[in-house]
Amino acid sequence: DAKTTQPPSMDCAEGRAANLPCNHSTISGNEYVYWYRQIHSQGPQYIIHGLKNNETNEMASLIITEDRKSSTLILPHATLRDTAVYYCIVRPEASYNQGGKLIFGQGTELSVKP
């Protein structure tokens, strides 16, 4: 699976957009970009994933560059409850014998401040 690089920490003002970058320069054509977050002491929570098109759901937007070597997770109006560690994960389209296998990196610790 391709490796990802994320900044170790970021700050964001409450109510502003939080833009979390992720570099995945060795991504292959069949690899998806996943984002999870982990609020302190809790289990990780799925946010969003995509292959090459931009994606949006009720939690966030995912912008993937045209060359797919980097992506940005956008939380449009960050709240204090969005303070968490955010993980960017790259992995192939799941096959039967690889389902359930996610490799987490170090993530970005996002602090949303009042």
Partner 1 sequence: NAGVTQTPKFQVLKTGQSMTLQCAQDMNHEYMSWYRQDPGMGLRLIHYSVGAGITDQGEVPNGYNVSRSTTEDFPLRLLSAAPSQTSVYFCASSYGADQETQYFGPGTRLLVL
> Which residues sit at the interface with partner 1, rule CB under 8 A?
36, 41-46, 49, 85, 87, 93-107
* Cα atoms in the 13 Å half-sphere on the side-chain side of 21: 9
Alpha helix segments (H runs only) across the chain? none
**Minimum distance of partner 1 from residue 74's CB (angstroms):** 19
**Minimum distance of partner 1 from residue 94's CB (angstroms):** 4
95: phi then psi, degrees, rounded to nearest 5: -105, 170
Residue whose CB is less far from partner 1, 13 or 46? 46
**Minimum distance of partner 1 from residue 29's CB (angstroms):** 17
**Minimum distance of partner 1 from residue 66's CB (angstroms):** 25
Tell me the C-alpha distance between 87 and 17, whole Å: 18
Go through 16-29 and write b for each residue having 16 or more CB atoms within 10 A of its CB, e for each that does not.
eebebebbbeebee
Residue whose CB is less far from partner 1, 5 or 65? 5
Residue whose CB is less far from partner 1, 74 or 102? 102
